[in-house]
Structure 1
Amino acid sequence: MYILVVEDQQDIIEMLRLTWSDSRDKLEYISSVAQARRYIESNETSAYDCMIIDINLPDGSGLELLREARLRSEIPVVMISGAGDADSRADAISVGADDYLMKPFSVKELRARVHRLYATRQSARSAQLATSFFVGRVVCDLQRLLLERSDMTVSLTALEARILQVLHNSNGADCPKSSIARQALFREYDPRDKTIDVYINRLRGKLGELDDRSADAIKTVRGVGYRLIGR
C-alpha cells in the first residue's frame, strides 16, 4: 500500500517510521495543509491507497483539507487528533472521514484500520470496475484485451490495458505519472524512466489504426501526466 501521512509532529512521524511493521507498505510524510493541498489539486492523491490526516496542522485544519479531498477523490481517509471527544469524531465522519483515532494511538491498531479500509474499498471497486469503455470512438475491452471499432480489432498487452484502466478511473481528471507508475507498472515513478511515455505513444498508435480522431483522446498534461477525455 502507498499511504500519504499529513502530520507535523516529529515524534508521531518517527513512531510510525519505527513501528509500522508491514514492509509492503510505503508511507510518505508531508507536514502542512499547503503541501497536502498541492497533492489534492494536482490529483496526486490518486497515486495513494489511503491518507492519514492530523486534524490540527500548523497552517490550518485537517478537516478543511478533508473537505477539499472529498470534492475530488474517494481515497480512504483516517483522521487522527490529539484533542477531541465523541462530537469531534462525529464531525470528522460527517465531513467524509472513513475512520478516526485519538492520540496517543497504537500503531498496530492504526495499521489494522488502514488495511481494513483498503480491503473494503478494493472489494467495492472491483465490483464496480468497467471492463469495457470508449476511448474516443474506439471500444476498449479489458477482459479480452482488445480495441474495437466497427469490424476492426487491435490487441492490447496487459500493461497497455492497465494504463488505460488507470486513465479511465481518473474520470476525465489529470492522471499523474506517479499514479500510472504505481497502479499499472507496480513501481515508483522515476522521471528518468520513459516507459510510460513509450506505452502512451503505443496506445495512441493502436487507437489511430482504428480511428484517427480517437488517438487524440489521450491528452498530455505537461508537468503532470495524461488525461483521458470523453467521446
Structure 2
Amino acid sequence: MSQRLLVVDDDAELRTLLEGYLGEQGFEVIAVEDGTALRRALDAGAFDLVILDLMLPDDDGLALCRELRARSRIPILMLTARGDELDRIIGLEMGADDYLPKPFHPRELLARIRSILRRMHELAGERPARELRFAGWTLSIGMRHLVGADGVAIPLSTGEFRLLQALAENANRVMSRDRLMDVLSGREAGPFDRSVDVMISRLRRRLNDDAREPELIKTVRNEGYLLAAKVERSA
C-alpha cells in the first residue's frame, strides 16, 4: 500500500507539481489549499506525513502546526520562507519534525520525506515493550511517550522521542550536535541550524528541567549535550 502524504499549500502550481512528482515516486498525495481543507482531509482518512506551508494567506500556519500536534503524532514537515529563522524555531517548538526553506528542489523534499518516514518505520520496529527509566521518569519505547512519577503519560513528537531516546541510551556521555541532528533528521547540522537546540529546549520543558541551570539535560560547551542521570533498562 502506498504511503499517504497530505500537502497543504496555497500555491496551486506547487500543489500540482508535488502531486505529480511525489505521485511518480510511489506516494499517494492529497494536496489542499488551506486549514479548512486540511481538517476535512484528516477527518476523512489517515496520512503518513503532512507537508505544511507556514505562510498560508488565510490561516496561521504555526497555529495549524500546533493543532496538528495536539490531535495526532503524525510527522510534520514545514515549508518556510528562506531565511525566516524565527518561524522555523517556533514551528519546531510547536511539534514539527523537520523543515525545508522555499524555494527547494523536489528531490530535496523527497529526501526529507523519505528520511522522516524511514525514522517512523524504525520506530515502529521498536514497538516490543521496552522502557528507559531515569530520575523518576519512564520513557516508553513501545508507546513513544514519557511518564512522570505521578503516572501521567506525556505524548512526544517523533523528534522529541528520538532525541530523548538517544540521550538516555548514551547517558552521561556527550553527544555532539551533529550526531543529534543525524538522529533527529538524518542530516548534518548547518552552522546556523538550531533544530537540535530547539528540540533540547522542548525536552527540558517536558522534564521540568530548568533551562538556566539544567540538572538532567546538560549543555557541554562547544561539544554538545548529555543526559546526566543513571538509566535503568527493562525489556
TM-score with structure 2 setting the length: 0.49
Unmatched runs of 5 consecutive residues or more in structure 2: 130-235
1:38/1:84 CA distance change after superposition, 3 Å: farther
The Cα shift of 1:84 comes to: 4.8
- Match in the other structure for 2:104: 105
Aligned to 1:12: 14
The whole-number CA distance in structure 1 between the counterparts of 2:31 and 2:11 is: 11
The 8 Å contact of residues 36 and 65 in structure 1, kept in 2 or not, is answered as: no
| Structure 1 residues 46-85: aligned runs within 5 Å | 47-82=46-81, 84-85=83-84
More helix by share: 1
> Aligned residue for 1:32?
34
CA-CA distance at 1:107 after TM superposition: 0.7
Amino acid at match of 1:61: D
Aligned-residue Cα RMSD (Å) equals 2.0
2:79–2:100 contact (8 Å) kept in structure 1: yes
Q: Is the 8 A contact 1:34 1:59 kept in 2?
A: no
CA distance in 2 between counterparts of 1:50 and 1:36 reads 12
2:78 alignment partner, SS class: strand
- What secondary structure, in the 3-state scheme, does the structure 2 residue paired with 1:56 have? coil
Deviation at 1:106, TM superposition (A): 1.0
TM-score, normalising length: structure 1? 0.50
Q: Which amino acid aligns with 1:3?
A: L
CA contact (8 A) 1:20 1:108 kept: no
When residues 69 and 122 of structure 1 are mapped into structure 2, their CA distance, relative to the original with a 3 A threshold, is same
Number of aligned residue pairs: give it. Answer: 127
Change in 2 beyond 3 A, CA 1:93/1:21? same
Query: Residue 15 of structure 2 contacts residue 32 of structure 2 at CA under 8 Å; is this kept in 1?
Result: no
Q: What is the rounded CA distance, in whole Å, between the counterparts of 2:24 and 2:4 in structure 1?
A: 12
In the alignment, which residue of structure 2 is the partner of 1:91? 90
* Percent of aligned pairs with the same amino acid: 33
